[in-house]
A and B are shown apart, each in its own frame.
Chain A
Amino acid sequence: MEYFVQQLINGLTLGSIYGLIAIGYTMVYGIIGMINFAHGDIFMIGSFIALTMFLVLTSVLGFTFLPVVLLIVLIVSMLFTSAWGWTVERLAYRPLRGSFRLAPLITAIGMSILLQNFVRVTQGARVKPLPPQIQGGITLFEGNTETGAMVVQLSYMQLIIIGTTVVLMTIFSLIIARTSLGRAQRACEQDRRMAALLGVNVDRTISLTFLMGAALAAVAGVMFLLLYGVIDFYIGFLAGIKAFTAAVLGGIGSLPGAMLGGLLIGLIEVFWSGYFTVEYKDVAAFSILAIVLIFLPSGLLGRPEVEKV
């Protein structure tokens, strides 16, 4: 029981990270109907920026008060990663808008390879460790150690991750639901040409979508860095695929769906590792993807599609 609860907490933490990345996939897919394959690598870039910024603050500028350091790291990482997201869209996807369907997917794959190897060349191929920054946590309940039960702990780190995710989800849902940008986004999702005819600046809306997606991926990158303490240039690939799985599982195009899918994938992965084998945890996640797509192609919260004849 204790073990189960502990795994549940771990799963929700990991799921929050996947969910944050998944939102980027789902927003971009919703608005331009492409899988932004490079999004996972944007997450990786965010993680690297956070690491470097952290070092700049602590070892060069000598900041020591951790909450301020983390806040600055988060904001800087979001800003710079957004710039990357914007640039990728501007250089690799915008010229291909309106071209045939496969072209942007191929450039996205190319962009993913490019970003990975850019980071590898400039920052080295070795993993970068960061010692744990936030330690301790709240002990939820203590099992009787004599009977072999264990302590269930919600670490501060996990608390921060889940809390940040909830706050950001709320903010972004409000943006989509209430602001004119959100309205423009939803209009572009429905019919891009019509939106353009009605005076929506489609290019700008799409750019902003990429910015927002990249900012959330940066947050996920910071969280990932703090949670695991090791990053390398390749983390974006697997995390990206899993986050995409999450987006599809939740129903692509749906923001709450992406979050729900992220949590589910996180839980599945953690429970699979906890109760079965660690080696096949990716197989479990991918199998879930295949099964969901086959039996529930529009995901959990997506709208079902009726075949038009």
Chain B
Amino acid sequence: MAVVADNRVADSLRDAFIAALLVAVLGFFFLALRTEIAPGGLALWTRWGLWFTAIAIVFVVRLGLNLFFYKANRPAGAGTGRAAKIASKLPDLSGWTGTIMLIVAIVLPFIVTTFLPAQQRQFIDLMILILTYVMLGWGLNVVVGFAGLLDLGFVAFYAIGAYSFALLAHYLDFSFWMALPLAGILAAFWGVILGFPVLRLRGDYLAIVTLAFGEIIRVVLLNWYDFTGGPNGISGIPKPTFFGLEFGRGEGNFAAVFGLPYSTIHRFIYLYFIILGLAVLTFIVTNRLRRLPIGRAWEALREDEIACRSLGINTTNTKLTAFAIGAMFGGFAGAFFATRQGFVSPESFTFIESAIILAIVVLGGLGSQFGVVIASVVMIGGMEMLRNLGFLKGMFGPDFDPVQYRMLIFGLAMVLIMVWKPRGLVTTREPSAVLKEKKKIGADLVAQGEGH
């Protein structure tokens, strides 16, 4: 026994040493050395302390993990059993869980304003942001989760929605409520236009072409000065009104009409309820679509396209509807984004947005609407939390800016969660029709699309 233990210690030490060595190699040009612009060219700084700290941390952590965590000869990243079990018990949103969550979502802004008045704006802003991503996630879920079409350019439709409203407001004085349906329709229209030529491509190719389309749209928005304002974007986009009432100070505005004391928070709460309403609409429609023939055809398409064709399903049209409906919800969300910001510019619609939305859908578990909610809360909420971690400044000194690390940690989280749970958080599929007894379908049976 002693020999085995010794072996383990020796192996662990060796493993930790290799890991530390690797960090030393990888980090040498990035941690130990730093180039900085200085008068007369570039200057070279050294940061040996940082480098050695990183090496030491990796050595200690790796050693600790090897000795105390991976007791047996298990490789790193294998301990997922328990988490998987918990995740598979996650409920279905259309049942009572959904109702409870909806009630919580409705009550939440009032709880926040009552109990956290100091941070109410910040909280409500965060909830609006999360709900926007939930809605975008549900929209993209139709394309990627149901129909199995990998779309890396979803942000294009978000941008089209936002710019549709911005341009309609700018040139034609449209109000939010007039522009909202148009934004959705325009986005869906563009979904069809862009989708038609590319939908016969295989999975990865489709992904890269949609990515290219996303970039094309952004570059056009960036360079078409006369119409879109180029990099300056469009500002002065009107805020939504409450049945014609504006959220300002003074006579005839929302607060005055309802006899409330004026507060800027009213508008935020109103925006919150608009996006909540839009998200609920998205949920109801997509959930219903799933139980309709079109939704079943989407899922069948994801499972086996050739079999679909042999059953008389027009796969091109079916894919196009998925693309258009996903784009439509992206367009709605875009219009909402424009009105919330009051300003749009191409900078908001970079590839990274597409990646975030896709990550939410995949991390949540493809095709799972509940998973999208969890993933949005975790990813977006978590990312915003980093802004507020003032105590880290105390640990790393006043120069430490946690916001800088947001995307770094976001990327890391994407990798770690995927390696930990490649199928996402919610891994079971709900059947869309039941004869006698509803049984959940394990993820190992469900295809991910384009797998033929």
**Direct A–B contact in the complex, CB atoms closer than 8 angstroms:** yes
Query: B110 at the A/B interface (Cβ < 8 Å)?
Result: no
The minimal Cβ–Cβ distance linking A253 to chain B, given in whole angstroms, is: 12
Interface size on B, residues (CB 8 A): 64
| A-B CB contact pairs (8 Å), 30 listed | A49-B29, A51-B35, A53-B29, A55-B35, A56-B33, A60-B44, A92-B419, A96-B418, A101-B450, A102-B362, A102-B448, A106-B362, A107-B415, A111-B415, A113-B414, A114-B408, A115-B411, A117-B407, A117-B408, A124-B34, A241-B208, A245-B208, A277-B223, A279-B223, A283-B220, A286-B212, A287-B212, A290-B209, A293-B208, A293-B209
Chain A contact residues: helix, strand, loop or mixed? helix
Task: Choose one: A87, A96, A119, A309; the contact of B306 (CB below 8 Å).
Answer: A309
Residues of chain B contacted by A100 (CB below 8 angstroms):
422-423, 448
Is B114 among interface residues, defined by CB-CB distance under 8 A? no
Bitwise, B208-248 to A at CB < 8 A (1) or not (0) is 11011101100110110000000000000000000000000
Given contacts A241-B211, A289-B209, contact A105 B415 (CB under 8 A): no
Complex Cα distance, B28 from A275, in Å, reads 44
Contacts of B413 in A (CB 8 A): 110
Q: Is A207 an interface residue (CB 8 A)?
A: no
List the B residue with the shortest CB-CB distance to A76. Answer: B29
B418 and A290 form a contact (CB under 8 A): no
* Chain B residues within an 8 Å CB radius of A80: 25-26, 28-29
Contact with B along A250-283 (1 / 0, CB 8 A): 0000000000000000000000000001011011
Given A35-B204, A92-B419, A248-B205, the answer on whether A55 and B408 have CB atoms closer than 8 Å is no
Contact A297 B201 (CB under 8 A): yes
Which B residues fall within an 8 A CB radius of A?
22, 25-26, 28-31, 33-37, 41-42, 44, 77, 150, 197-198, 200-205, 207-209, 211-213, 215-216, 219-220, 222-223, 306, 351-352, 355, 358-359, 362-363, 366, 404-405, 407-408, 410-415, 418-419, 422-423, 448, 450-452
**Is the Cβ of A112 less than 8 Å from the Cβ of B411?**
yes
In the bound complex, how far is the Cα of B412 from the Cα of A118, in angstroms? Answer: 10
Chain A residue with Cβ nearest B224: A279
- Contact residues in B for A117 (Cβ distance below 8 Å): 405, 407-408, 410-411
Q: How many Å lie between the Cα of A52 and that of B198 in the bound state?
A: 43
Interface size, chain A (Cβ < 8 Å): 70
Q: Which of A111, A124, A289 contacts B208 (CB 8 A)?
A: A289
Q: How far is the CA of A35 from the CA of B30 in the complex (A)?
A: 26
